[in-house]
A and B are shown apart, each in its own frame.
Chain A
Amino acid sequence: MNGKLHTEPRIQNPDPLYKALSDLHDGLSAEESLLVDSKLIFFLINHIGDDAVVMEAIERVRRSTRSAEA
């Protein structure tokens, strides 16, 4: 699968970014967590503005989740 999705390292400041994400989930129920994740996904999908890139990411997640289960 060679598409347009960047998979090489591009995150500038990993720790603050991760902490911000983690804080977003702080104190939330499982249901609330799913909701904030979903909102975040839609903001980013719209920002990317390229359905093929998103589809490729979906496919990669599907594969990695399957292989984790196997």
Chain B
Amino acid sequence: MPFMQRTYDYEEFEYAPSPEELSGQSTRYPVVVVGAGPVGLTAANDLVYHGIPVVVIDEDNKVSLGSRAICFAKRTLEVFDRLGCVEPMEEKGVTWNVGRVFYRDKEAYQFNLLPEEGHGHPAFINLQQYYLEEYLIEPLRDNPLAELRWLNRLVDLETHDDFVRLTVATPRGMYQMEAEWLIAADGTRSTVRKLMGLDYKGKQFEGKFLITDVVMKNEDFPTERWFWFDPPFNPGYSALLHKQADNVWRIDMQLGRDVDVEEEKDPNRVLPRIRAMLGEDADFDLEWISIYRFHSRRMERFVHGRVFFVGDAAHIVSPFGARGANSGIQDVDNLIWKLKLVMEGKASPQLLETYNEERIYAANENLFHTETSTEFISPNTPGQKALRNAVLELSREYEFARPLINSGRLSTATIMPDSPLNTPDEDEWNCRLIPGAPAEDAPVVRGDERSYFLKQVGGVFNGVLFVDSPQAIPTDTLADLQALAQKDVPIETKIVALEPTEATEYEGLPVFYDADGYMKQRYDATPGAYYLLRPDQHVCARWRSFDRAKVEAAQKKAGYLL
């Protein structure tokens, strides 16, 4: 319903005939990405980050307008930080901490997500998807490794053992090209998936949701997340209010199962509902109206020969918990370093199978949480509704009932304790961080410069050596660490001093100081302890003391190195 959208001016990207169209000759590219949404664009950014050329095709020529993803979680922001594009997102996005839950006409309870100290990024930001896409497109436009082909629609696909042939329709006609590897990021209605005749099993939830974006003119409307169960302005159903950039607010209003979609989208019907929700004093304009039905589905497998499915093309969840775009971006974070090692002939192609395994594990977790939230928000039977309402009524008076309220479990990074890439602990550790989890962030100081730990790692295997004093590191350990950094698949070690230290520098081994003690706490760090991190910043092994042979064995395991 693109009749509004006053706050955002989008650009129409230019279609330019590709070399294949002009010459009639098919070219074989290393990697082609289908779909320029948040996930496909993240894949393109990650590929060029790793020095791999990429062609992205998209059937449209603009960013995604309307009410789409808005909530981007900390792990996603860490990935964008590694890719160098997080700054404009965090500058434009809004953060919130207070959430209120209402039941009927009263507040049931409120919570404050006081952010944990000592992280480089907030728990999440709210930002319209079109801004996010814009900030992901910008760095690609000037990058000679990336080619964005707008108004290029995939119409046919032929898979071979060592490449994929694509037939693409453009305003000018049709052309063919080949890809050694294909990344399908073309969303819920994935053309790649359909052309390959692949499954997408799951269910559709029965309820319908009216999604409205409004521009609030009252400047003092609080930046909080409000969730209503059975409110007077929408009896029997739920509603959610969430702030985005430009003073645009997202309103999700649950509708009955049998409503007439066109009737409900009529602004004359939408306006009184929203006025009743926001109160008499609210002054606002409608920005966008749409109606969605939610799905819960995933493919049986995400890897099919030379084709990888990422994001909504591989799995779709209801939006409660912001687990759609966030999980797609983590798919990409998981895939690209593996693909790079395999493309370079340094890892066994079996490594790619672990993308399938690890991200199906994550998809199942996201499906579980979103299905549970959807069942709480929109109960199906009288008994389920009674359970839900009992929780809400008890919550006013009894604290024990509050954790049962489920208005969406917000996206957190998936922890994979049973990943085949992990080397199980042989020592005792006493911290939340475990092998299979993304490394924890913390402030670190190098010289006079204060920064964050996660900005220092990623892209390659990294080691972290904890010491009391960097001056006291044995010479043979230093030589081993320097040798690891020179390997064909390097392990670049960062030294983290737990005590204040005089400036010490070793060739290729930067020294940081754990200024606020968070590294010690979050890594249960003792002098001599060593962590091994995958290129996607996940912990894959750790020991109380450094042993070069064990480190190399763990790296070989985590990378299926040849």
> What is the interface of chain A, defined by CB distance below 8 A to chain B?
30-31, 34-35, 37-39, 41-43, 46
Taking CB atoms, residues of chain A closer than 8 Å to B393 are 35, 39
Give the contacting residue for A42; candidates B382, B383, B385, B401; CB below 8 A.
B401
Taking CB atoms, residues of chain A closer than 8 Å to B386 are 31, 34-35, 37-38
In the complex, which range does the number of interface residues on chain B fall in? 10 to 19
A46, B400: Cβ atoms under 8 Å?
Answer: yes
Docked complex Cα distance between A42 and B392 (Å): 11
B387, A38: Cβ atoms under 8 Å?
Answer: yes
- Please name the residue on chain A nearest to B389 by beta carbon: A35
Interface check B391, CB cutoff 8 A:
yes
> What is the interface of chain B, defined by CB distance below 8 A to chain A?
382-383, 385-387, 389-391, 393-394, 400-401, 404
Docked complex Cα distance between A23 and B387 (Å): 20
How many interface contacts (CB-CB < 8 Å) are there between A and B? 31
Interface majority SS (helix, strand, loop, mixed), chain A: helix
B382, A39: Cβ atoms under 8 Å?
Answer: no
A42, B389: Cβ atoms under 8 Å?
Answer: no
Q: A34-B385, A38-B391 are in contact. List 11 more A-B contacts (CB 8 A).
A: A31-B382, A35-B390, A35-B393, A38-B386, A42-B390, A42-B391, A42-B400, A42-B401, A42-B404, A43-B394, A46-B400
User: Are A34 and B404 also in contact (CB < 8 A) when A42-B390, A42-B391, A42-B394 are?
Assistant: no
B401, A34: Cβ atoms under 8 Å?
Answer: no
Q: How far is the CB of B364 from chain A (nearest CB, A)?
A: 19
Q: How far is the CB of B455 from chain A (nearest CB, A)?
A: 40
Docked complex Cα distance between A5 and B385 (Å): 27
Taking CB atoms, residues of chain A closer than 8 Å to B387 are 38, 41
B383, A39: Cβ atoms under 8 Å?
Answer: no
Taking CB atoms, residues of chain A closer than 8 Å to B400 are 42, 46
Docked complex Cα distance between A39 and B404 (Å): 12
Report 22 cross-chain contacts, Cβ distance below 8 Å, ordered by A residue.
Answer: A30-B382, A31-B382, A31-B386, A34-B383, A34-B385, A35-B386, A35-B389, A35-B390, A35-B393, A37-B386, A38-B386, A38-B387, A38-B389, A39-B390, A39-B393, A39-B394, A41-B390, A42-B390, A42-B394, A42-B400, A42-B404, A43-B394
Docked complex Cα distance between A68 and B74 (Å): 49
Docked complex Cα distance between A41 and B400 (Å): 13
Taking CB atoms, residues of chain A closer than 8 Å to B382 are 30-31, 34
Taking CB atoms, residues of chain B closer than 8 Å to A43 are 394
